[in-house]
Amino acid sequence: MSEGRTDIPDVGDGGRSLLEALVHSLAENKKLLGRRYSEWSVGGPTLEAAIALSAMTQDELGHSRVLYGLLEELRGVPATGDADWTVEGWGLSVLTRPFETWAHLVVTVVLLDSALTTLVEAATTSAFLPLQRRTRKMVEEERYHALYGSHWLERLARMPAVRRVMAEWAHRAFTEAMAWFGPPGDLAPLRMAGVLSADADGLRERYSQGVRPALELLGLRPAAVAIPWDRWDPAWRRLRLDE
């Protein structure tokens, strides 16, 4: 176990609010991801795929509940259940509606699930022990999600028509994921205090390098994807793409 502290490191009022918002966004989007997975856990192309997705559903919903518990500690406000924290505004647009096809789900596993995991990984050595302890177990469970997504992406990409559908969805999902880490320079107070191992720019770089092979398989180049920062909503830490 890395050394750390059970109270929040000195990040200032702005840094504390930033940490609360980040945890809330992560919790809400993991819950939404779990819901989207659950909708296909009985409709996957194979029995094995459906069973595995059911387990992934439980992982994401479980992670969300753990993060809500951390929010209670951060805000000093007990909650009677997840619904006390649920606010629709946090959800990334690619997660707010059921997926049209299995291909959409697979791309989301590869690109959105991994984006959330990139942030979780950056907290596994956190100087804030309550965050460190929670995220270490999550990372262990997320390793299988990455393998699952890669397997299905490679399998579906062999079909040109399906590959085109995945490429279109991947462009949108990747754009949202890249923006979700925050504008350039964001999260710097948390990095400097040791709460996270990287700021927004560092997380974006780690993430884009990790998913580069998947994007290239679909004919996309990470560097060619522009983030429309004029649509960034700082209050909800996401792009407003549908408005």
pLDDT in tens, 129-156: 999 999 998 998 999 999 999 999 999 9
Position 167 scores a pLDDT of 98
Which pLDDT does position 83 carry in this prediction? 52
Is 41 inside a domain boundary? yes
User: Domain for residue 5, yes or no?
Assistant: no
| Residue range 37-63, pLDDT digits in tens | 999 998 889 999 999 999 999 999 999
Which CATH number covers residue 26?
Answer: 1.20.1260.10
Judge whether 120 lies within some domain.
yes
Range of the domain at 121: 15-83+91-239
Judge whether residue 158 has pLDDT over 80. Answer: yes
* HEC-encoded secondary structure of the chain: CCCCECCCCCCHHHHHHHHHHHHHHHHHHHHHHHHHHHCCCCCCCCHHHHHHHHHHHHHHHHHHHHHHHHHHHHHCCCCCCHHHCCCHHHCCHHHCCCCCCHHHHHHHHHHHHHHHHHHHHHCCCCCEHHHHHHHHHHHHHHHHHHHHHHHHHHHHCCCHHHHHHHHHHHHHHHHHHHHHCCCCCCCHHHHHCCCCCCCHHHHHHHHHHHHHHHHHHCCCCHHHCCCCHHHEECCCCEECCCC
Average pLDDT estimate for 13-17:
81
Average pLDDT over residues 222-233: 94
Domain count for the chain, please give it: 1
At residue 44, the pLDDT reads: 87
- For the segment 101-135, what is each residue's pLDDT rounded down to a tens digit? 999 999 999 999 999 999 999 999 999 999 999 99
Q: Considering the domain boundaries, does residue 8 fall inside one?
A: no
| Amino acid 1: pLDDT | 42
> Would 1 be classed as within a structural domain?
no
